Amino acid sequence: MPKFFPIEPLSKEALDKMNYRWHNDEDGEYILKTALIAITQKEAEAYHDAANELYSMYEKGAEYVIKNNLFEALDIPPTIVPFIKESWENERANHLYGRFDLSGGIDGKEIKLIEFNADTPTLLLETSLIQAMLLNGLKDAKQFNSIYEAIALKFEKLAESKKGEFTRFLFSCVEDIEEERVTTQFLQEMAESRGLLTRFEYLENLGFDNEEDFWFKLYPWEDMQNFESNTSSMLNPAFTLLYQSKGMLAILYELFPDSPLLLKTSFEPIKEKYVKKRMFGREGANIDIVENGKVLTTTGGIYEEYKAVYQEYENFIRDDEGEYYQAGIFYSDGACGLGFRRGLEILDDMSVFVGHIVR
């Protein structure tokens, strides 16, 4: 059960000043503003080490998929496969960030991988900036949170590594989703904090005329089946689609069946109580929880077209009101920050962000 540390509430006005308006719903918020989850230094280090170990596993898993041509098993569109292979060979250093979703880690409960959001910046602003604001001047307060610094440094390293070849960073997203615009421009701010040249353009207006930019696009690779190469150097390049596919969970379990960080996962239904997920499902959509052939819980959604993967059911941390908690660890050249989500058994886009403090 999580332990909570009460804090002075962060005002709604403070969030609105950051253009953070999508947090408002009928009840007023998606952020717990009155308390933080208290964890120990040892627990923080365990989350940190788990994310680093898991990233190494994903690298080995991607190498295995590419070597054995297992793209179809991961539901990878054939037209993207050449870009995956090319980017794996030439742009391995260009993976800007990702977020591991984990169960456990508190009160001795083992950490387990739920999935890896390798090309999804959901909760970036909340985890990196807003939860630091939630500390609200607490003296000597500590968090496992260096996300802003880690990603800003990553931009600087990328610029230095290809100096003279690519000199500017282009940031893009679709025009009609405010959360994505604010998040994309937050990443742009990180690059500018290191004195780097940037520009922003909506994807709908974007054209490439021999551009020589580093290009970050907040748009799913699985929806870019008609992508055509350009002279840009991609951030979160095509190979990150391998990491994003939940089929990789089955590949990792095949390669590392004895890892305490992994849940039993297969491309076929398993005997144990399991969670059926779609390869590129998002926000808790199209998920079934099944036991002894009976569907206990199910969610609708738009991802039914994708293949399924079957992951052993894991009991999440719960509070005394029965709500579920999942940890999220951001990774950018190393584990760099922790946050939590609270919600139903299947966490969706209505879940509440919960910050932490290391005590």
Tokens for 117?
């959001």
C-beta of residue 83 within 8 angstroms of C-beta of residue 238: yes
Q: How far is 266 from 269, CA to CA, in rounded Å?
A: 7
Q: Which residue has the tokens 């999220």?
A: 328
Q: Is residue 257 part of a domain?
A: no
Instruction: Find, among 308, 277, 276, 318, the residue nearest to 293 by Cα.
Output: 276
In this prediction, residue 207 carries a pLDDT of 67
Q: What are phi and psi of 17, to 5 degrees?
A: -65, -25
C-beta of residue 5 within 8 angstroms of C-beta of residue 359: yes
pLDDT at 119 over 80: yes
Q: Is residue 298 part of a domain?
A: no
In this prediction, residue 19 carries a pLDDT of 62
Q: Is residue 283 part of a domain?
A: no
Q: How far is 159 from 230, CA to CA, in rounded Å?
A: 18
Average pLDDT over residues 269-298: 95
Average pLDDT over residues 232-252: 95
Q: Is residue 167 part of a domain?
A: yes
Q: How far is 93 from 206, CA to CA, in rounded Å?
A: 25
Domain count, the chain: 1
Q: Is residue 190 part of a domain?
A: yes
pLDDT digits over 106-116, tens only?
Answer: 988 999 999 99
Q: Is residue 292 part of a domain?
A: no
What does the radius of gyration of the chain's CA atoms come to, in whole angstroms?
A: 20
Q: Is residue 273 part of a domain?
A: no
Q: What is the span of the domain harbouring residue 31? A: 3-247+314-358
Greatest mean pLDDT range, 3-12, 118-127, 235-244: 235-244
pLDDT at 27 over 80: no
Q: Is residue 194 part of a domain?
A: yes
Tokens for 316?
């999440």
